[in-house]
Amino acid sequence: MIQTRQHWSFAAVLLGVLLVPVATRAQASAALETPAAGEKTPTAEEKAPTAEEQPSPPPLPIAPPVTALPSAAPAPAADSKPAGLNFEFFEPGGAGTTNDAKDSEISLLSKKRRHRLEMHQLLGLTTWAFMGASCVIGQLNYNDLYGGGSGRGNYMMPHRLLVYSSTILFGVTAAYALFAPQPYKKPLKFDTGLIHRIAAIGATAGILTEVVLGFITARSADSGNPDGLKRMATIHDVVGWTTFGFMTAAGTAWLF
């Protein structure tokens, strides 16, 4: 009997130990939910916080300022001239002004050269025509005096006039070519221009030779000295036709 009571006592104590924490937790929860005496239970509207009472969100982190990387090129110096529309692309006496002046000078010289060479061409063709006439009349004069003709000298005066005119025209034509300005250097190469120059040099030598031989032949004939007169007249005739050939080559190279 005594043992049975002891068993019940032990079970009651064990049950009490197990139930004490549960009761303690229940009392704590009731204390939190039940308002204290004199306190008013908040309603749903009171429980909901207003927009002003809501806590503001934490501020976003501010990124550190970006610093510009150092540039390899130095910064351009500030212009001392005032800003505005009154500006110049080139300073006075600079490259732009020099190039403009040079281009203007070249253009002016080119116009002068073109004009003088056009006159040279026109006078050259005129000289060629007079030289051809001089050769034809000179050949008739040679045949009349030394080729079994009448020997009266009917062609002497026309031949002299044509020779004088051809010589003067040749000199003026050469002057227009020699004094034509050359705005830029032209390399020397084998072309029609070089052929024209060579032919013009040959024609010049022939004209000078003709003038000298014609003068000597005329003076010898006027003085009545027949020694070697025919031989000199023959040379004069051959040189005249050779000179005309050089002038023909020069004109052909210039035109074509």
Q: What is the pTM of this model?
A: 0.57
Q: Which of 16-20, 38-42, 85-89, 117-121 has the highest average model confidence (pLDDT)? A: 117-121
Q: Please report, for the chain, the start and end positions of each structural domain, with discontinuous segments joined by +.
A: 111-255
Of residues 8 and 105, the one with the higher pLDDT is: 105
What tokens does 193 get? 């221009």
Please, what's the b/e burial string for 124-158 (b: 16 or more CB within 10 A of its CB; e: otherwise)? bebbbebbbbbbbbbbbbbebbeeeeeeeeebbee
Q: Say yes or no to pLDDT of 83 above 50.
A: no
Q: What is the percentage of the chain residues whose pLDDT exceeds 70?
A: 59
Asked if 142 and 233 touch (Cβ cutoff 8 Å), the reply is: yes
Q: Looking at residues 172-200, what average pLDDT do you find?
A: 86
Q: Looking at residues 216-239, what average pLDDT do you find?
A: 80
Provide the 10 A C-beta neighbour count for residue 240: 26
Q: Say yes or no to pLDDT of 152 above 50.
A: yes
Q: Say yes or no to pLDDT of 130 above 80.
A: yes
Q: Say yes or no to pLDDT of 256 above 90.
A: no
What tokens does 186 get? 């032209």
Of residues 181 and 198, the one with the higher pLDDT is: 198
Asked if 206 and 239 touch (Cβ cutoff 8 Å), the reply is: yes
pLDDT for 85:
41
Q: Say yes or no to pLDDT of 90 above 50.
A: no
Burial of 202 from C-beta contacts in 10 A (0-12 / 13-18 / 19+): middle
Give the pLDDT confidence of 236-253 residue by residue, as tens digits.
999 999 999 999 999 898
The number of helices, as runs of H, and strands, as runs of E, in the chain is 6, 0
pLDDT for 93:
46
pLDDT for 49:
52
pLDDT for 249:
94
Q: Looking at residues 145-165, what average pLDDT do you find?
A: 87
Q: Say yes or no to pLDDT of 95 above 80.
A: no
Burial of 250 from C-beta contacts in 10 A (0-12 / 13-18 / 19+): buried
pLDDT for 62:
57
